[in-house]
Structure 1
């Protein structure tokens, strides 16, 4: 691991730790505070990819994955009102979603890196965010995957309700996923500003 990777690894670790803590606090009916911090993992990955290449970005992602596993292990040992703060299904869902989505982000970014400056970070983040949301909420809460952790009662997530309170009727976890996905899409656009500023500043400094 080279010294140049340390800022990216520290930034990714900070995002992962913050998200694991903030996911315990609700924001409105459909979101947690973690929904507003986790999407910045894609910003860290894209900045590393742009400035240091795909291989470096993968190393940062693996470091973030390791931090996530550690957070899950710690959370599984802390028992709250409704049991462990992190269940096996949530831990598995989080790990699979993070690693799959970040690696997809890197792959898409690489394919588009020669185009307009905004295209690679925007499209790769949208693709990665969509995969992340789909994998996490399906694995963590879908009734079809109850066999992953039979002792973990997630029947509450299957309650049939209108999506986001006004859409077609679907399990509650679908509303949670849609709300999370919409936040990720919004922050993907917002993250273009710091992406442009950081890349511009560091590129000018190197030149």
Structure 2
């Protein structure tokens, strides 16, 4: 890790902290504001991977993971209206989802890096985002995993409702996961613009890489 990696490290840390704060504030019926900041972590990982390689990208992911753990620890000590702001299941889901999804993102990007410039960032982010959403919401809220934290009542998240208010009936957390996933996919496409511009700025030789 060199001084050149510092912007990526700081960007990842800021995104993780901001997302942990903004996830407490609702945006509409299915989302929180954190849904719009968290996907930027994939952009940071992909930029590090393109410019510096998979090794530095993985190190930035680990730093983001540690920052996330610290945020979760702090959240468990802050009491809200219904208990701690961060439960054990949320902390576990968030940590495992972040680390797994980001490391998979790095691997997919590395495997596709020699193709068209947009293929690696788009494919790696789509795969990582899908994995992240599936892991987090199932670990944090599914009734099948209540044994992880028996004292945590997640019955509210398992209320049977039409998905996003109009689809097949499923537990509420499935609607939350679907909305979150759709935001991630949309931002994955939009992130190609800053990805292209930042890569060209940091390393003009890789404009066509």
Residue 31 of structure 1 corresponds to 31
Residue 82 of structure 1 corresponds to 82
Q: Equivalent residues in 2 for 1:1-207 (5 A)?
A: 1-204=1-204
RMSD: 1.2
In structure 1, C-alpha distance between the alignment counterparts of 2:204 and 2:171, rounded to whole Å: 50
Report SS of the residue matched to 2:49.
helix
Q: CA deviation at 1:93?
A: 0.1
Report SS of the residue matched to 2:161.
strand
Normalised TM-score (structure 2): 0.97
Judging changes above 3 Å, is the alpha-carbon distance between structure 1 residues 135 and 197 closer, same or farther for their aligned structure 2 residues?
A: same
Q: CA deviation at 1:2?
A: 1.8
In structure 2, C-alpha distance between the alignment counterparts of 1:147 and 1:199, rounded to whole Å: 45
- Per-residue CA deviation, residues 101-129 of structure 1 (Å, 9 max, x unaligned), is 00010000001000010000000000000
Report SS of the residue matched to 1:161.
strand
Q: Structure 2 stretches of 5 or more lacking a match?
A: none
Normalised TM-score (structure 1): 0.98
Report SS of the residue matched to 1:153.
coil
Report SS of the residue matched to 2:116.
coil
Moved over 6 A (4+): none
Q: CA deviation at 1:204?
A: 2.3
Q: CA deviation at 1:6?
A: 1.1
Q: CA deviation at 1:206?
A: 9.4
Q: CA deviation at 1:5?
A: 1.7
Report SS of the residue matched to 1:170.
strand
Q: CA deviation at 1:90?
A: 0.1
- Per-residue CA deviation, residues 47-77 of structure 1 (Å, 9 max, x unaligned), is 0000000000000000000000000000110
Report SS of the residue matched to 2:203.
helix
Judging changes above 3 Å, is the alpha-carbon distance between structure 1 residues 21 and 101 closer, same or farther for their aligned structure 2 residues?
A: same
